[in-house]
Amino acid sequence: MSHALTRPGGDGRTAPPRANAVVAVLAFGGIVVSLMQTLVIPIVPELPRLLDAPASDTAWAVTATLLAAAVATPMTGRLGDMYGKRRMLLISLVMLVAGSVTAALSDSLTPMIVGRALQGLASGVIPLGISIMRDELPAERLGSATALMSASLGVGGALGLPAAALIADNFDWHALFWASAALGAVALVLVPLVVPESQVRTGGRFDLVGGIGMAAGLVSLLLAISKGADWGWGSGTTLGLFAAAVLVLLVWGAWELRIKEPLVDLRTSARRQVLVTNLASIAVGFAMFAMSLVIPQLLQLPEATGYGLGKSLLVAGLTMAPSGLVMMATAPFSAALSKSKGPKITLMVGALVVAAGYGLNIVLMSELWHFVLVTCVIGAGIGFTYGAMPALIMSAVPASETGAANSLNTLMRSIGTSTASAVAGVILAQMTTPFGPTALPSQDGFKVVLAIGAGAALLAFVVASFIPRQRGAAASAEAAADGPAEGLAGAESVKVGGCRTGQGFGGCRTGRGFGGCRADC
């Protein structure tokens, strides 16, 4: 696979960017995208009435976003590596605004699904933002910045629920999507003003066949996971989709290994550090989402059940909101721990904190403050894990592949969250208690889901223990900025002013550029 790093537009030098402004704008973009995914939650139960369609069909307003995100995230990462990460980030934000406006103007099912699918195409913003940070920020800022950017996924989700509930309670439901469009437009204006275009590129052509194969495999897999409960886990449709996913992804893998310029470099992805981190990411994604599925339901169930708190959706959202702030607040601590002990330790500590939070929730679930405490503990753990994963990925892949590698890691988390939704749905549907004419999920059912969430976090801890030790405790941020030693295989190199200089990819020479180490070809 070619790894030629190029400077677009001559030497590409510009005035040094203000690191704080770059980080703030990219994190804002990440929060906007994660807000988009949460904004629709308050109106999901009302969609059949609002869109005059069956509930089984309106569920596609959520499923369409999931499937579009799964397809778009790895593709935008690869295209960003090839044609410019900021360019692809801007295209993603355009998709977000277009999808939000389409959904805001809709009064029927089809345009709503189209709008939500377009919104899902924006999900590559967070991994692209992390990759831009690697290219543009000095090494000493990279750890805390990527931790904050990575945590923005959880921050937006936690803050989005109360904001969406407030809007839905006081305004027409279309205002939810107009708000999303407005925030996306703000990000669309700020990014070109503040964020420089990354100068690190990889050449080659886009692997269209690989893109189609990956899309087909992922859509089959996630469709079976997300709709299996509705269609029946033993139905021909669900089993057929699982079988198709396995077959298509196996063929896709063989294709990716055969061609010169693949969509996903599976040889790089098979490196122990990358592979194990991605496996841990699936478990972390599962653990994170279990909280979002259980706690809002427990808060809103009637007090007459004996375990519900009878709170409104707004109160439930406000209870979850502090966890998002905690995720943001833990970013510098996550970066400091990664610098002193390495991101592997940070990931393992975060997983243990998440497991402890779920254990607390099994015991403490009768008062509002119990849930605030639990969500903050879990949020702190997620902040540590989400801060460590991009550091692990970026210190193990060449600079020319960070977009694709970070996008694949984000996709792994999404697979974890989708699986959590399916597993929790099955458990809560099976473990019920009668309440008047209806059956509600039982307290034991919720405790089982919480226990599984704790188990997923412990699994992430065990998996992360197999990640190879870093070259040095403080080397992670520097490695992320410079690229892995194996990525410069065959290159004679020495360190000059914190940069690696010498013959590299395709005759490129690295040296000190604005905001960090750069490649001159």
Per-residue pLDDT tens digits of the chain, which is 521 residues long: 444 444 444 344 443 458 889 999 999 999 999 888 788 888 888 888 889 888 878 888 888 888 898 889 889 988 988 888 999 999 999 999 999 999 999 999 999 999 999 999 998 898 899 889 888 888 888 888 888 887 787 778 778 888 888 888 888 889 999 999 999 999 999 999 999 887 777 767 888 899 999 999 999 998 998 888 888 889 999 999 999 999 999 999 999 999 888 888 888 888 889 999 999 999 998 998 888 888 888 998 999 888 999 998 889 889 988 988 898 888 889 888 988 999 999 999 999 999 999 999 999 998 999 999 999 999 999 989 988 998 899 888 887 788 888 888 888 988 888 888 888 888 988 898 888 888 889 999 999 999 999 999 999 999 999 998 765 444 444 444 444 433 323 333 333 333 333 323 233 333 333 333 333 33
Closest CA to 124 of 505, 510, 452, 411: 411
Residue 119: its pLDDT value, please?
94
How far is 63 from 59, CA to CA, in rounded Å?
6
How far is 97 from 63, CA to CA, in rounded Å?
19
Sequence-distant (6+) residues with CB within 8 A of 243 are none
Residue 395: its pLDDT value, please?
85
Residue 517: its pLDDT value, please?
38
373-376, long-range: CB within 8 Å, 24+ apart, which pairs? 374/291, 374/295, 375/158, 375/291, 375/295, 375/319, 375/320, 375/322, 375/323, 376/322, 376/323, 376/326
How far is 125 from 471, CA to CA, in rounded Å?
30
Residue 492: its pLDDT value, please?
30
Residue 32: its pLDDT value, please?
92
How far is 269 from 477, CA to CA, in rounded Å?
20
Going by the DSSP 8-state scheme, the letter that residue 515 receives in this structure is T
- Residue 185, classed as helix, strand or coil, is helix
How far is 407 from 131, CA to CA, in rounded Å?
9
CB 63 within 8 A of CB 223: yes
Going by the DSSP 8-state scheme, the letter that residue 493 receives in this structure is E
How far is 122 from 94, CA to CA, in rounded Å?
8
Where b means 16+ CB within 10 Å and e means fewer, 427-438 reads bbeebeeebeee
- Residue 410 CB neighbours (<10 A): 28
- Residue 125 CB neighbours (<10 A): 32
> pTM of the predicted model, to two decimals?
0.80
Going by the DSSP 8-state scheme, the letter that residue 503 receives in this structure is B
Residue 470: its pLDDT value, please?
61
